[in-house]
């Protein structure tokens, strides 16, 4: 028997993992696990919550959809929540779903379903008023999405004005923005010819194209759209079935998928699933399964919905795609923090819609567990069309001459010793910024927006600067001249001037951002801010002991040791001193009686749109007074600052009794 304490710990871990993966998938368009693995996590969480309903909380991933919208776009509240779909992974799962519906409807009578291909794109809500497109928004967290109206207008298949008879006075159309495979292939070919990084898959390409702040970029991308449903409808009697709704969509000039059909009963659904699976390689777009919806809207109303998904619809995923190939070599890569990561170089294999040639093997423990060797035949899976992985070695094809992989004891780039910290699975190069392989990544991090924020210093420019040996440490950036920059590929006079000016302007920063920019292991934004608030100056931090550092909020013994180790390295101290000598500075942080600040240690959440300042400006104003700013509302939240069009966070704050501040009250508080 598992005790309640263990169950609670596992549920908390699952929620944290799922939220992190949701953020990567929905906010940053950069999924970091296959869909199949994500589904396993969600299924485990749902099963645990079903057995222990007392553990269910309003902020559990099972009670919400997706992730919060990104901050660059205006946020809008959906007229009706945009729900997600539950998943079926087998014939038995779908049969059980059908039985649950039949028990709520008419037992013994085959239910009529609409079956649609499950497109791999981005869910969109379109508002038409008087037949004219007035607003478009992404799903976001299901309650609040991102206003992408101007970008949506550039997609030719989406009508700006509905045509035909019977156009309602107001209607919310829902559908999927996606990138057809031909357009995706052409887009990546163009990117590669320009020396740019290609998109990983059509879903990422579609999401990245739609979330451009410049709508001209979106217009240049080969995006398409299919309608799959509607939300609010006014000025017209609602249709009786999904099928009738699709007929109306076509009548109004909205594009609908030509693979949509209506079937009866479980057997009809299974047959259609098998047929679509067989046609998947021939379709002009990527699909990762099918969607079944009860055709009758009155029956949909009878069965209703749960908090995050309708009871009348379900997605049936296709099995993860797998192919066999051979391991040509195994290399090791060195990351920004010195992490030594083995990578298998594969004979090219087309799986999950893309050609896979490289697969990360994560760490030494993973290598030993799977025992992958050069020459092996391996099974490669691209589950959920995201990250490829080696599932297993085909042992029948292994030859006696294939030798076990020997993990390096010294860095393959700088020959420094490789460290293995007790309790960690990742081995690391011990050289810090002295290691050339870490230089590129450390400089990219140093220049990033949340660090020194050097506008225009992108990955390709950093790589050229390092390759040309113009930059060996972050400090070297501040010695670059216009002449140096002009030697880079595709760098004109105006661009060179802008980059040199941006580097110069970045000299003025904050103590917290400077600490974050140094790239000390496990010192993120929050920890850097805590360190800046605790120590009077850089010298005090550099000379701090592990015990001194453990007194800082958010700093435990491991992080404290990382900080001490960083400043013990002569090279790191030299880089820091050079940065200061080249003019990098920040306003003094006054520590006296800091804990007497009325906002010190208080936890704030910002939501909605502020009219007098940006959310980032509000965040920095609070942090300068010692407050913490988090992205989600919890019982630990002290204040919620509610701007215009506040949504789900405001509702949750009110339900938890969190004090809500208007923008005017917030301005008075920080003044």
Q: Which residues are designated catalytic?
A: 118
Q: Are 485 and 419 in contact (CB under 8 A)?
A: no
Looking at the chain, the number of H-run helices and the number of E-run strands are 24, 22
List phi, psi (to 5°) of 461.
-70, -40
Instruction: Give bridge partners of residue 128 from the DSSP assignment.
Output: 133, 171
Nearest alpha-carbon partner for 663 in 641, 646, 632, 645: 641
Alpha helices in 454-492 (DSSP H): 459-467, 482-486
Please, which residues have CB within 8 angstroms of residue 109's CB and are 6 or more apart in sequence? 102
Nearest alpha-carbon partner for 174 in 107, 226, 252, 133: 226
Nearest alpha-carbon partner for 325 in 307, 295, 351: 351
Q: Give the integer Cα–Cα distance in Å for 322 and 306.
A: 34
List phi, psi (to 5°) of 232.
-70, 140
Alpha helices in 233-334 (DSSP H): 242-251, 265-279, 297-303
Nearest alpha-carbon partner for 332 in 306, 382, 367: 367
- Secondary structure class of 485 (helix, strand, coil): helix
Instruction: Tokens for 251, please give them.
Output: 């009548």
Please, which residues have CB within 8 angstroms of residue 468's CB and are 6 or more apart in sequence? 487, 488
Q: Give the integer Cα–Cα distance in Å for 498 and 506.
A: 12
Nearest alpha-carbon partner for 531 in 553, 559, 504, 508: 553
Q: Are 203 and 385 in contact (CB under 8 A)?
A: yes
Q: Are 218 and 154 in contact (CB under 8 A)?
A: yes
Q: Which residues of 19-55 are buried (b: 16+ CB within 10 A; e: fewer)?
A: bebbbbbbbebebebbbbbbbebbeebeebbeeeeeb
Q: Give the integer Cα–Cα distance in Å for 306 and 428.
A: 46
Q: Give the integer Cα–Cα distance in Å for 558 and 540.
A: 19
Q: Are 276 and 301 in contact (CB under 8 A)?
A: no
- Secondary structure class of 659 (helix, strand, coil): strand
Please, which residues have CB within 8 angstroms of residue 388's CB and are 6 or more apart in sequence? 351, 352, 356, 359, 380, 381, 382
Which element (helix H / strand E) includes 5? helix 4-22
Q: Give the integer Cα–Cα distance in Å for 645 and 659.
A: 18
- Secondary structure class of 590 (helix, strand, coil): coil
Which element (helix H / strand E) includes 494? helix 493-505
Q: Which residues of 197-221 are buried (b: 16+ CB within 10 A; e: fewer)?
A: eebbbbbbbbbbbbbbeebeebbeb
Q: Give Rg (Cα) of the chain.
A: 27
Say how far residue 446 (Cα) sits from the centre of its chain.
Answer: 21
Q: Are 174 and 226 in contact (CB under 8 A)?
A: no
Nearest alpha-carbon partner for 540 in 575, 572, 567: 567
């Amino acid at each position: 028997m598992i005790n309640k304490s263990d169950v609670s710990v596992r549920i908390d871990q699952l929620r944290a993992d799922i939220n992190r993966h949701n953020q990567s998938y929905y906010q940053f368009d950069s999924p970091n696990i296959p869909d199949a693995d994500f589904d396993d996590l969600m299924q485990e969480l749902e099963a645990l919550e079903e057995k222990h309903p007392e553990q269910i909380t309003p902020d559990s991933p099972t009670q919400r959809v997706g992730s919060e919208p990104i901050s660059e776009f205006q946020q809008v509240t959906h007229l009706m929540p945009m729900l997600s779909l539950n998943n079926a992974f087998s014939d038995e799962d779908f049969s059980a779903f059908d039985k649950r519906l039949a028990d709520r409807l008419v037992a013994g009578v085959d239910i009529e379903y609409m079956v649609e291909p499950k497109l791999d794109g981005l869910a969109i809500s379109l508002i038409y008023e008087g037949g004219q497109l007035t607003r478009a928004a992404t799903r976001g967290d299901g309650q609040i999405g991102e206003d992408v109206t101007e970008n949506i207008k550039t997609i030719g298949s989406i009508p700006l004005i509905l045509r035909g008879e019977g156009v309602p006075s107001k209607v919310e159309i829902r559908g999927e923005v996606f990138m057809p495979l031909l357009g995706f292939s052409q887009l990546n070919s163009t990117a590669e010819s320009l020396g740019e990084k290609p998109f990983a898959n059509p879903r990422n390409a579609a999401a990245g194209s739609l979330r451009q702040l410049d709508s001209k970029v979106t217009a240049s991308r080969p995006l398409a759209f299919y309608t799959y449903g509607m939300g609010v409808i006014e000025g017209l009697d609602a249709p009786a079935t999904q099928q009738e709704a699709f007929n109306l969509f076509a009548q109004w000039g909205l594009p609908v998928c030509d693979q949509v059909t209506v079937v009866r009963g479980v057997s009809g659904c299974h047959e259609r699933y098998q047929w679509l699976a067989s046609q998947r390689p021939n379709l002009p777009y990527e699909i990762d399964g099918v969607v079944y919806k009860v055709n009758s809207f009155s029956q949909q109303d009878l069965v209703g919905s749960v908090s995050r998904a309708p009871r009348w619809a379900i997605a049936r995923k296709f099995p993860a795609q797998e192919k066999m190939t051979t391991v040509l070599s195994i290399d090791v890569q060195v990351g920004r923090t010195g992490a030594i990561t083995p990578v298998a170089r594969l004979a090219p294999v087309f799986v999950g819609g893309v050609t896979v040639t490289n697969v990360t093997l994560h760490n030494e423990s993973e290598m030993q567990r799977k025992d992958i060797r050069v020459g092996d035949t391996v099974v490669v899976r691209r589950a959920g069309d995201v990250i490829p992985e080696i599932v297993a070695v085909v042992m029948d094809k292994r030859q006696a001459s294939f030798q076990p992989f020997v993990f390096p004891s010294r860095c393959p780039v700088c020959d420094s010793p490789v460290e293995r910290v007790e309790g960690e699975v990742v081995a690391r190069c011990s050289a810090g910024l002295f290691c050339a392989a870490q230089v590129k990544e450390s400089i990219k991090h140093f220049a990033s927006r949340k660090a020194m924020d050097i506008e225009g210093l992108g990955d390709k420019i950093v790589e050229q600067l390092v390759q040309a040996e113009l930059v060996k440490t972050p400090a070297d950036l501040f010695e670059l001249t216009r002449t140096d920059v002009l030697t880079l590929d595709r760098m004109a006079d105006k661009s060179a001037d802008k980059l040199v000016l941006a580097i110069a302007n970045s000299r003025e920063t904050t103590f917290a951002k400077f600490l974050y920019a140094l790239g000390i292991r496990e010192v993120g934004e929050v920890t850097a801010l805590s360190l800046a608030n605790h120590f009077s100056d850089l010298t005090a931090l550099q000379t701090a002991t592990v015990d001194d550092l453990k007194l800082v909020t958010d700093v435990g013994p491991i992080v404290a040791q990382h900080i001490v180790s960083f400043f013990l390295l002569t090279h790191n101290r030299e880089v820091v001193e050079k940065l200061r000598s080249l003019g990098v500075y920040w306003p003094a942080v006054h520590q006296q009686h800091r804990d007497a600040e009325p906002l010190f240690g208080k936890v704030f959440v910002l939501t909605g749109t502020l009219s007098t300042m940006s959310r980032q400006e509000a965040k920095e104003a609070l942090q300068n007074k010692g407050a913490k700013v988090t992205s989600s509302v919890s019982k630990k939240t002290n204040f919620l600052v509610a701007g215009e069009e506040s949504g789900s966070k405001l509702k949750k704050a009110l339900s938890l009794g969190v004090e809500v501040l208007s923008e005017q009250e917030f301005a008075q508080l920080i003044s």
